[in-house]
Structure 1
């Protein structure tokens, strides 16, 4: 467009004037009827109509602007910000951050949304999800990938820490009916039936999705496993290899690795019928104060899922470089995980079952003091920005669909 009236502003000019991002402008256009016109591919805003709109929505903008002054010469402002992302290279259902990190997807999306800001992404590799929840509470981590039990544990923590409000942003890897976690015994073990385990040492990661499922075994079979020792997942695996423990609840990829080595035998998942789910969480206040960053990460998250599905061989190599697991084990495990960020009723019911009455709060977008919230708007905006099929406002119905993978 070679010429335009002086009272028409480009979106970048409106963003500079109001000090907001493109995502915020797009949301105002959609939700608050921000006045605009579209000529070809260019979106313009009438300065006079914008002045009126600002007066009507003065609480929605960072500071009151009235009347609009003449447009000053554009000055580029640069600043530096650090974003900290927590991940777990030792948990296969949480390997998407390894893809994001290795390919620089997040940094790429950050540069796209705010080219004037010098973003630094720091990655924190944690041995378990509870440590990442603690880091989010302390402000040391901004976004974290964790398993389903740490998600639920964050609820209890939020009820005793009123300033902490965990926000679920999206799901990550999913496996059906406990396929991603199983109780494993050494190959030379003489104890194969659960009722024989009362006299053997059982190890698992404390306060984790694995320890939760071990407790479900106990409840489902009416047994009491004693003693249960808490170790890292690597130590649990070594205990299976050297026979120093009688059984361990292993998650992927340790489960497949033990099988591939012929060192461990998984047992039937009696008493454990729920899906194994993982996802992304953040602190609610931080997420809403950094919406552009959250949307940028979710775009990277969706791109990583697509990359794993479309290029499994390259994905396996990247995960191997970032985790150190055997590439044959990685390739086998990646193909059995459902990489899907979307919310299904099925998933929310699984989390409800996991957290019992605490998780009733997941059925609403509304704010609940001390409760675990999810806000699909962030994921929806990321989906829309990537020009993927639009996600509905409500959770997807029915079983997982092969036609709708995010």
Structure 2
């Protein structure tokens, strides 16, 4: 029997909710952090499907919005959050360096085109080598920070060869538009927004082995260990949401537009095409590149101490959840 995809993500999830057996659990609360750009978790929050599923398990959700990944993981460390939406692969490294007890409960397949270095169309910069002496902006500790290091290294340059400004994405966009910086490594949806609204050229992205730009979903380890059934429900819902987005980019863009401040759905659809949204279990092998990031950040003086990325805890979903 063939199955048709429903027209809305809420309908897709509702099919599973109707069929789900009712079980009795003790009343509880899970606190979930997300960013405005958290695609899958944003859609899930908007649909209410996870709230409904966890309500069947006697669990209420408290949603908390953050401006970036590092403060979100700090909240995990302080006990103010239980689970986080996706963060770039660089972010957990700083949390591990601060001895935050994290559990990786999901990942997305790599999206190397999900971030890229752009310049103005009339710029004299044609390659990474041309960045010498130029002004570049990234967000400190974010995935674009590592892409800058990797790109400079491949071109035989270091951070000492460029003038780096560490700005949030919104501030970086303003600096780029006003031509206060020569190059900006942006991630989605900021990247597709700039490409659509400004006259830009792309110098390099994460392809050719520069940076996989893998996204991870994290939990406070004490919570993951004491509430595996909640983590499992969140994992299953994320996976279904990712499958839906990949099959329904146009509709997903329409739904995300008001959640992302009214960005043109056509821009969002372009942004979605640069991310995999393929939710998978986390494996130790994925930490190999993270260890490379550790080494790069240590050499650049960005990371306070060396960490072994393989020391992190991993949640393993059940066969039913996968």
1:66-95 Cα distance to aligned partner (Å, 9 max, x none): xxxxxxxxxx9974x4322112223xxx41
Q: Per the alignment, do residues 347 and 326 of structure 1 end up closer, same or farther by CA in structure 2, a change over 3 Å counting? A: farther
1:242-287 Cα distance to aligned partner (Å, 9 max, x none): 2121111111122222222243211034886231100210111111
Match of 1:286 among 213, 219, 223: 223
Match of 2:108 among 172, 178, 185: 172
Higher RCO (C-alpha 8 Å, min separation 6)? 2
Contact 1:185 1:265 in 2 (8 A): yes
TM-score by length of 2: 0.79
1:267 is aligned to 2:203: yes
- Displacement of 1:104: 1.0
Q: Per the alignment, do residues 78 and 282 of structure 1 end up closer, same or farther by CA in structure 2, a change over 3 Å counting? A: closer
Q: Kindly report which structure 2 residues correspond to 1:99-248, keeping only aligned pairs within 5 A, or say none.
A: 99-112=43-56, 114=57, 117=58, 119-144=59-84, 145-158=86-99, 164-172=100-108, 174-175=110-111, 178-223=112-157, 224-248=160-184
1:331-376 Cα distance to aligned partner (Å, 9 max, x none): 1221332122224676444334334584562xxxxxxxxx312121
Q: Per the alignment, do residues 225 and 141 of structure 1 end up closer, same or farther by CA in structure 2, a change over 3 Å counting? A: farther
Name the counterpart of 2:241.
Answer: 304
1:340 is aligned to 2:278: yes
1:196 counterpart SS class: helix
Aligned length: 284
- Determine the C-alpha separation between the residues in 1 that align with 2:161 and 2:63: 37
Aligned-residue RMSD, C-alpha:
2.6
Q: Per the alignment, do residues 309 and 148 of structure 1 end up closer, same or farther by CA in structure 2, a change over 3 Å counting? A: same
- Displacement of 1:136: 0.6
1:132-158 Cα distance to aligned partner (Å, 9 max, x none): 111110111211121100022222111
Q: Per the alignment, do residues 266 and 248 of structure 1 end up closer, same or farther by CA in structure 2, a change over 3 Å counting? A: same
1:83 counterpart SS class: strand
- Displacement of 1:290: 1.7
Structure 1 unmatched runs, 5+: 1-41, 43-75, 159-163, 362-370, 386-390, 392-406
1:85 is aligned to 2:26: no
- Determine the C-alpha separation between the residues in 2 that align with 1:188 and 1:288: 54
- Determine the C-alpha separation between the residues in 2 that align with 1:105 and 1:256: 28
- Determine the C-alpha separation between the residues in 2 that align with 1:132 and 1:241: 28
- Determine the C-alpha separation between the residues in 1 that align with 2:75 and 2:48: 23
TM-score by length of 1: 0.64
Contact 2:150 2:211 in 1 (8 A): no
1:244 counterpart SS class: coil
1:276 counterpart SS class: coil
Name the counterpart of 2:42.
Answer: 98
Compare CA radii of gyration and give the structure with the larger one: 1
